[in-house]
Amino acid sequence: MRYQSTRGGVRGLSFKQAVMMGLADDGGLLLPETIPTLDAAELADLASLHYPELAFRIISRFADDIPAADLRDLLDRAYASFDHPDITPVARQDGVYILELFHGPTLAFKDVALQFLGNLFAYLLAERGETMNIVGATSGDTGSAAIAGVRGKDNINIFILHPHGRVSPIQELQMTTVTDANVFNIAIRGTFDDGQRIVKEIFGDLDFKSHHALGAINSINWARVLAQVVYYFYAWGRISKENAGGEVAFSVPTGNFGDIFAGYLAKRMGLPIRQLILATNANNILARFVRDGDYSLATVVETPSPSMDIQIASNFERYLFYLYNGDAARVCQAMADFARDGRLAFSSSERQQVANDFLALSVDTAETLATIRDFKAACGYLLDPHTAVGVRAALTLGDKAVPVICLATAHPAKFGEAVEQAAGEAPPLPPSLAGIDQRPRRCEILDADTAQIKAYIDKHAR
């Protein structure tokens, strides 16, 4: 399997090279040069597999330069950190299926990919005899999942900036109670935007970047998307007995378009998906795109589902590449147009194609909270606010003739305040969080000043 950039300047990469490159050198995103497809017999074979074995069967088709035994080991260890035997169990609740993606160490779906990516980075670095320093800024979720993915690895150090006092108490604890020697939490006296600006400036210093072998762990790495393809197959398999192996629909709470893009790939690989429902909160650029062909920037508004408070979806370019039939020059043109005008226009045939690929709904804050309340009243199950956005979209747009599987992207306890406000009941803390506020912490508080942060990294880099 070979990889190419959406912008046409990079091709012929191996899987390993694609993982280590992250963002393509021409500024684009990496995609496989062909998408493997499964026939009905192969699909049926997958339906009964355990999660790690299924992950191996899917991922090995794309990662054909990693020996089978090694890939199996990377996946087994990644998913041993989950606290449910099914890894991503499926529960039937109030007429829909809930695919629980929050049984990993930080209680959100990003663990599914980052537990794998952390092991994969450590493996590839060991093979090359190299080390890496990961630097990133977080508003909460991604940082803790990235830290959990690489803690204890002896060839990776990780530096994560978060805005001091401005992430939720649980998110802060999930980061700062990781005391492994290779983890450096930096609380900056400033905002999330300051953190992002500082990280950009650090990566912009190319000497510093290459001297310290800086790496990123953001959602554009191909291996993250790939790891997420697996649970679409898994969920389909879990209900295939009662569904006679038939079609399903998925509803996906969407921010950076990574998760739903994995669903789009699963469909192109032959998984019988009748509907892919793209659910956004009030930050609805992607829902406007699907419904009206209106892909235009608006300002970000705060919602109870902060991990979806996004306007520029970093994985969208991957879909554009397919929408433009693999025409990299058009992708380049579109990205330049969007950077200049903050909008993109689509032809009627393109809009027809988009409508064939997705349905979409934007769910506002009042509807989100009402969905948490009503769902709890109907079946006693507590949804986190991100998941509630997807459930609302599923109940509104789902085809009644097929089972609808709603991706549950976070544990309700992770966003306990909003859930309590909506449902009148605080979600119980899962065992992994019990006593977390009593554990030792490690965190450095620094000014939102690039020079200071660079000096700190310089001192602690591997």
Ligand X SMILES: *Cc1c(COP(=O)(O)O)cnc(C)c1O
The residues that touch ligand X, with contacts defined as CB under 6 A, are 108, 110, 141, 219, 253-259, 307-308, 386, 409-410
Q: Which is nearer to ligand X, 253 or 416 (CB)?
A: 253
Identify which of residues 56 and 264 has a Cβ nearer to ligand X in the complex.
264
**Which residue's entry shows tokens 């507590």?**
382
Q: Which residue has the tokens 């990693």?
A: 66
Choosing from 110, 153, 376, 414, the catalytic residue is 110
Structure tokens at 58: 């899917």
**How would you classify residue 312: left for phi > 0, otherwise alpha for psi between -120 and 50, otherwise beta?**
beta
- Cα 398–Cα 390–Cα 324 angle in degrees, nearest 5: 80
- Of 201 and 309, nearer to ligand X (C-beta) is 309
Q: Which one, 202 or 278, has the nearer CB to ligand X?
A: 278
Q: Which two tokens stand for residue 74?
A: 């990377």
User: Which one-letter amino acid corresponds to residue 58?
Assistant: I
Residue 110 vs residues 202, 217, 369, 443: alpha-carbon distances, Å: 25, 11, 23, 22
Joined together, the tokens standing for residue 422 give 């909506």
Amino acid at 329: A
| CA 385 – CA 394 distance, rounded (Å) | 14
- CB of 387 vs ligand X, minimal distance in Å: 8
- Our answer to whether residue 110 is catalytic in this structure is yes
- Residue by residue, DSSP assigns 39-89 as -HHHHHHHTT--HHHHHHHHHTTT-TTS-HHHHHHHHHHHHHT-SSTTSS-
Instruction: Name every residue whose Cβ is closer than 8 Å to that of residue 227 and which is 6 or more positions away in sequence.
Output: 55, 59, 112, 113, 116, 117
Q: Is 99 within 8 Å of 231 (Cβ atoms)?
A: yes
The DSSP code sequence of 309-360 is --SS-TTHHHHHHHHTTT-HHHHHHHHHHHHHHSEE---HHHHHHHHHH-EE
Place of tokens 């606290």: 83
- Closest separation in Å from C-beta 151 to ligand X: 19
Closer by beta carbon to ligand X, 103 or else 110: 110
Q: Given the complex with ligand X, which of 28 and 253 has the nearer CB atom?
A: 253
Minimum gap (Å) between residue 171 Cβ and ligand X: 10
The whole-angstrom distance between residue 1's C-alpha and the CA centroid of its chain comes to 23
3 or 415: CB nearest ligand X: 415
Residues catalogued as catalytic:
110
